[in-house]
Structure 1
Amino acid sequence: MAPAALVGGGSGAGGGVVADYLRRVTGVVPDPAHERALSAYLVAAMDHGFNASTFTARVIASTGADMASCLTGAVGALSGPLHGGAPARALDSLDLAGADPGSWIAGELAAGRRLMGFGHAVYRTADPRSVLLREVAEGLGGERVAQALAFQQEAERQLAEHRPDRPLHANVEFYAAVVMEQCGIPRDLFTATFALARTIGWTAHVLEQARDRKIIRPSARYVGPAPVARARL
């Protein structure tokens, strides 16, 4: 269940952060079901270990910089296509696959391209956040959700055949895209919506790192050409 500070009474006006965000983005009073669905996503996305943006925020915090600088650095890291932006590209895949996901997925894998929304740097089993958001999406229902369910089934089947050495499952971005779309959030605001949630996690990490009072200074090992010995004159 989402924290009470996020979810209000379902009025959509002054009922909480999520209701206000949806109203501002969509221009209408949000459906309580959409408010609950987006709340579930935001809670699931608040924090997820030392990902690139969180680690960036902690490195900046370790220098004694202020909160604004730390969060700005985290947003900069999130702006990279390998970190943020995956949910929108997952929806692009659904659009391109249409009613025949099998053929489209086979073509992508044959061309050596990644399936956006599948696989994770940490998880080798199902992403628990994806499992949660799939349930949320199923609760919303609709043709897009049915399409996503069929796409996931076919994608995981083909990925298992294509990469039997590495299990690849739907990650949080796949159903996050479906949930946000169902809630009326435009694709170009998907990453910003993710940042809305992750800012809470970044802030907690910054406050924790600031108490350490020790700068993060990783060491490096030179791996370039060996120095050439000069002949003595």
Structure 2
Amino acid sequence: MIDAVNVDSINVDQSWTTTDTRGMDLIDVPAGLNGVAVADTTIGTVLGDEGFYHYRDYDAVELARTASFEDAWYLLDRGRLPDGAERDTFRADLAARRRLPAGTVPLIDVAGALPGTPLARLRTVLSAAAGPLRLQPLLDLDAADRREQALDVAAVVPSILGALYRSGAGLAAVAADPDLGHAAAYLHQVTGRQPESEHARALEQYLILTIDHGFNASTFTGRVVASTGADIVDVVCAAIGALAGPLHGGAPSRALDALDAIGTPDRAADWVRGEVAAGRRIMGFGHAVYRAPDPRSALLRDVAEALGGELVERAIAIETEILTTLAELKPDRPLPSNVEFYAGVIMETVGLPRQMFTPTFAVSRTVGWVTHALEQAATGKLIRPAARYVGPAPRRVAGVGTVRPPAPTG
């Protein structure tokens, strides 16, 4: 044990403030890594000032307008859109992978009754599914096997979520219908009803829009875990943990809660002023990247209008009032509607329970996470940044924490 010493009497070397544990010079970056490129990617990116983002070389919003979820998934998986035969084969392959892994059904019944959030239950069941799915560390697999395991995990997530929801609600489980597309099958597994075509398509468009969106918090978290060589379930469970935060994936239900709190459009302006005065965020408005309007929100508004209904009409009117009031209160900070505002409206309209809004986000984003995991694993590079220590100066005592020169010989 080191005797207590007077720190003022110790000669402190301040060089520790500018280098990390490897003796490398540290680089100052903005808080939150804003504007810092930490990797190269061919998956896509977000151009916030332009209000544009893309998957591979395709406009993501245009894909949501014209393509199926399987088309967009194939694009991320293979780097190009499928032809007709490839689409049918890929869709059938995904349908087969949606079956719940052997041995997970009893656990789903247990987890479905546990307190906590659907995402927490999803992590529990996914962790247990790693065994039946015979997952191995990414480090130990070749590219082809990594891809197979990534497809297995991403395909089964909606089935696990649907089964967990129905178990927790005391309802009979619904098997994934192989004749339905990925979005429609998920909606069927949650609600227990054959989905109306317009409802299935509306949900599918939302899911396409949210497959990937740059190096957001959950995607970056997943890439960090993938860089360690862990298995694909470790990657997805870590990313789910990041998604669970209300500043990331938890906003759609909160945006709908705000609509409930406002009630009618004539109350919107006063409600916004009260929230801003209290220092609270207006969920569904503003974005960390976009300064131009969020292109996802624009398409989802069109999708919501096509669905129609009282909630949609009220949301559109309230959105107008909120945008006007925010422009008055914060004229120097653009706060356009973001993807969460109409996402909640659409999910409510198609019959998804509010507690499943963020888990539904995970259905699509898992596809993006596993795609990034494969890209990161292919680099073979461990993500290991440093932190700049800014606490009290270390107390260096002679003979402690120092390297002694070797004793002379001869």
TM-score by length of 2: 0.53
**Secondary structure of 2:70's aligned partner:** coil
Deviations 1:25-77 (A, max 9, x none): 11111110001100000000000011111001100111111111111111111
**Secondary structure of 1:73's aligned partner:** helix
Residues 1:116 and 2:287 aligned together: no
Please name the residue that 2:351 is paired with. Answer: 184
Out of 254, 260, 275, which is 1:95 matched to? 260
Please name the residue that 1:5 is paired with. Answer: 70
**What are the ranges of 5 or more consecutive residues in structure 2 without an aligned counterpart?**
1-65, 72-86, 92-175, 398-410
TM-score by length of 1: 0.92
One-letter amino acid matched to 2:340: E
Q: Distance in 1 between matches of 2:311 and 2:287?
A: 23
- 1:102 Cα deviation from its structure 2 partner: 2.4
One-letter amino acid matched to 1:69: D
**What are the ranges of 5 or more consecutive residues in structure 1 without an aligned counterpart?**
none
Q: Distance in 2 between matches of 1:213 and 1:73?
A: 19
Q: Distance in 2 between matches of 1:2 and 1:179?
A: 19
One-letter amino acid matched to 1:95: D
Please say which of residues 52-61 and 101-110 is displaced more in the overlay: 101-110
One-letter amino acid matched to 2:68: P
One-letter amino acid matched to 1:2: A
8 Å Cα contact 1:34-1:183 kept in structure 2: yes
Please name the residue that 1:155 is paired with. Answer: 322
8 Å Cα contact 2:272-2:326 kept in structure 1: no
Q: Distance in 2 between matches of 1:126 and 1:87?
A: 17
4+ residue runs over 6 A deviation: none
- 1:227 Cα deviation from its structure 2 partner: 5.3
Residues 136 and 161 (structure 1), Cα distance of their counterparts in 2 relative to 1, 3 Å cut: same
Please say which of residues 78-87 and 33-42 is displaced more in the overlay: 78-87
| Overall identity of the aligned pairs, in % | 59
Q: Distance in 1 between matches of 2:395 and 2:181?
A: 66
Out of 365, 368, 372, which is 1:198 matched to? 365
Larger Rg: 2
- 1:229 Cα deviation from its structure 2 partner: 8.9
Please name the residue that 2:341 is paired with. Answer: 174
Query: Equivalent residues in 2 for 1:1-233 (5 A)?
Result: 1-3=66-68, 5=70, 14-99=179-264, 100-226=267-393
Tell which has more relative contact order, 1 or 2 (C-alpha 8 A, sep 6+): 1
Q: Distance in 2 between matches of 1:102 and 1:41?
A: 28
- 1:78 Cα deviation from its structure 2 partner: 1.0
- 1:110 Cα deviation from its structure 2 partner: 2.6
- 1:4 Cα deviation from its structure 2 partner: 6.2
8 Å Cα contact 2:253-2:354 kept in structure 1: yes
- 1:104 Cα deviation from its structure 2 partner: 1.9
8 Å Cα contact 1:2-1:39 kept in structure 2: no
